[in-house]
Amino acid sequence: MANSVNLHSAGHRYGAVCAPHFATVEAGRSILAEGGNALEAMLAMAASIAAVYPHMNHLGGDGFWLIREPSGRVRAIMAAGPAALAAKPELYRDYEIMPVRGPLAALTVPGAVGGWMLALEAAQARGGRLPLKVLLTPAIVQARNGYTVTRSQARLTEEQFTGLKDVPGFAAHFLVDGKVPHVGAVLKQEAFAATLEHLTHAGLEDFYRGDVGREMAADLERIHSPLARADLERYRAALADPLRVTLPWGTLFNTDAPTQGAVSLMILALFARLGAREAESFDHIHGLVEATKRALRMRDRLITDPNYLAHSLDRVLEERYLAGEAMKIDRRKAAAWPLSPNAGDTIWMGAADTSGLVVSYIQSLYWEFGSGCVLPGTGVLMQNRGASFSLQPGALNFLTPGRLPFHTLNPALAVLKDGRVMAYGCMGGDGQPQTQAAVFTRYVDFRQTLPEAVDRPRWVLGRTWGAPRTALRLESRFDGQLIDALAAAGHDIDILSEPYSDVMGHAGAVVLHPNGSCEGAHDPRADGGAAGV
């Protein structure tokens, strides 16, 4: 059994977990040590990460699961909340674009707990016997007794202070005497702890159709959010079949619309056709960047609420479509890149056990701290996922009551031909599929170790928050000759000063090996790690 949390953890004979915060890693490891399965460990981590990493996620957000069952079947849990019935375009007539902070930004149903409900049922169907009280207790203790403010929470609070400080509930929960908390400060989420405690007795459904739902609705009405109790009561998360694509390495899975899972699969499918032979070479980095451009162009033309899709996203993963897109990639020159960015912060976590159960999970508020609105009765921090809607008639994701917003979230999972099962993912808006591709190709195609694949220098294509222009951003550890070759090919290069930059997101992976052992690794750019039993 592991005695401490590290960035990499291998050789475990029962299970392994990884997460972006060390306290959450320990919560998941402790559930495995209690005899819990990977789904139970992930449920404990999903609650814990909201308690200790609230700038990245909370119960007021959404979540998506990929679950590989011991039988080999892969299923998805789609826990995205739709726009409120009262969220009509005329409500936003004074805005040119959707507001990103405050009560009018809190317009979509929090879907994450609905996903927890389905995950708990799945855990119990696979032999899970731990009561909800045991699964939520680590988070309850962390929220009630206090958690330590991390570097990333302090930095992001400082950067977004002006837009958040006056949002209802924010200062009382995430500032100290009206000021940004320093790294190492201890903050408590006592109302949130009480909500989790209540759910251990009343059941998770109470979040939508019981006392918690009633309290949330009353607070939302008080701050003039369009989200109402009827929106909460009618919400249900859904089980679904994931998207998949078969490549030389094995079968890769990701979530369907309204997520950008098709983007992540398409990048790797295009790259597989380019014939790169060496890790960190021009062919490797240029090929993935150019594949990203093709995939993001597809996304911005097609992906929306599945009820509004022009056709199934399976079509963009068919051989004919992929072959045509691959032919449009110039293997020596960069294509123009004028597209606007989709920002986002979230968390990804993984868990596996040696029964064959492997879980890839992502939970999010969209932007850091979401809408910023904290509901005082429950301590729930509400997302701003509705900011991805458009107020322009005819737009692909036009605001419509009851419509699902577009999601950058997408958890990834691969069943490899050699018998390994890999769950992997990252936070970071448009950077998510790019980092997934970097980690996957390094580990699977170029046979780097799992911790090396996560650690190696990364890139992100697109304009990040506060940056004046769109560029290909590279961490400073890349080889100078490679940087020169990319610039000569026409890539607009920005070299970041940090060798390990938060701009690249926080990545992680867990692997179930054919011999039954489990391995996990998480990002040195984050505050977490991996552990197992």
- Tens of pLDDT, residues 160-178: 999 999 999 999 999 999 9
Residue 235's pLDDT is 98
Neighbours of 415 (CB within 10 A): 20
Residue range 53-81, pLDDT digits in tens: 999 999 999 999 999 999 999 999 999 99
Q: Which two tokens stand for residue 84?
A: 């409120």
Alpha-helical runs (H) found in 273-390: 282-302, 319-327
**Alpha carbon separation from 378 to 110, 137, 315, 513 (Å, rounded):** 13, 17, 43, 42
Active site residue 346: yes
Rounded-to-integer distance, Cα 357 and Cα 158, Å? 40
Backbone angles phi, psi at 279, to 5 degrees: -65, 145
Q: How far apart are CA 169 and CA 326, in angstroms?
A: 49
Average pLDDT over the chain reads: 95
pLDDT in the model for residue 34: 97
Q: What is the pLDDT of residues 259-295, one digit of tens each?
A: 999 999 999 999 999 999 999 999 999 999 999 999 9
SS3 content of the chain, % helix, strand, coil (to 5): 40, 20, 40
Q: What contacts 24+ positions apart, CB below 8 Å, involve 516-519?
A: 516/13, 516/354, 517/10, 517/11, 517/12, 517/13, 517/354, 518/10, 518/12, 518/13, 518/14, 518/15, 518/16, 518/352, 518/353, 518/354, 519/8, 519/9, 519/10, 519/11, 519/12, 519/16, 519/450
Say what the pLDDT of residue 462 is: 78
Residue 211 has pLDDT above 90, yes or no: yes
**The pLDDT value given to residue 492:** 94
Question: Per-residue pLDDT tens for 321-356?
Answer: 999 999 999 999 999 886 555 555 689 999 999 999
Confidence of residue 254 (pLDDT cuts 50, 70, 90): very high
Q: Give yes or no for a contact between 84 and 107, defined as CB atoms under 8 angstroms apart.
A: yes
pLDDT tens for each residue of 403-415: 999 999 899 999 9
Which residues partner with 532 through β-bridges?
Answer: 16
Among 4-18, 248-262, 487-501, whose mean pLDDT is lowest? 4-18
The residue among 300, 358, 305 whose CA lies nearest residue 73 is 358
Alpha helices in 126-251 (DSSP H): 132-145, 151-159, 161-164, 170-174, 190-202, 206-209, 211-222, 229-233
Q: How far apart are CA 336 and CA 314, in angstroms?
A: 27
- Is the pLDDT reported for residue 218 higher than 80? yes
Per cent of the chain over pLDDT 90 is 93
Rounded distance, CA 108 to CA 86, Å?
A: 10
467-477 pLDDT, tens digit each: 555 789 999 99
- Decide if pLDDT at 2 tops 50: no
Task: Find the angle CA(66)-CA(68)-CA(72) to the nearest 5 degrees.
Answer: 145
Which one of 346, 354, 408, 464 is the catalytic residue? Answer: 346
Please report the pLDDT score of residue 469 as a whole number: 59
352-370 confidence digits (pLDDT tens): 999 999 999 999 999 999 9
Give the model's confidence band at 1: pLDDT under 50 very low, under 70 low, under 90 confident, else very high. Answer: very low
Is-contact 240 52, C-beta < 8 A? no
**Nearest 5°: phi and psi at 152?**
-70, -35
Q: What is the pLDDT of residue 430?
A: 86
Q: What is the model's pTM?
A: 0.95
According to DSSP, residue 316 is labeled G
Give the closest residue to 199 by CA, choosing from 142, 122, 133.
Answer: 133
pLDDT tops 90 at residue 385: yes
Nearest Cα to Cα of residue 385 among 158, 91, 99? 99
Q: Which residue type occupies 115?
A: G
The percent of residues above 70 in pLDDT, for the chain, comes to 96
Predicted confidence at residue 4, as pLDDT, reads: 45
Place of tokens 């619309």: 257
pLDDT at 380 over 60: yes
The pLDDT of residue 6 is 87
Per-residue pLDDT reduced to its tens digit, 419-435: 999 999 998 788 899 99
Q: Predicted confidence band at 465 (pLDDT cuts at 50, 70, 90)? A: very low
Place of tokens 């930095």: 155
Question: Rounded CA gap, 401 and 360, in Å?
Answer: 30
pLDDT at 17 over 50: yes
Which value, to the nearest 10 degrees, does the dihedral of the CA atoms of residues 333, 339, 343, 349 take?
Answer: -50
Q: In one letter, which amino acid is 412?
A: A
Measured distance CA(448)–CA(273) in Å, rounded: 20
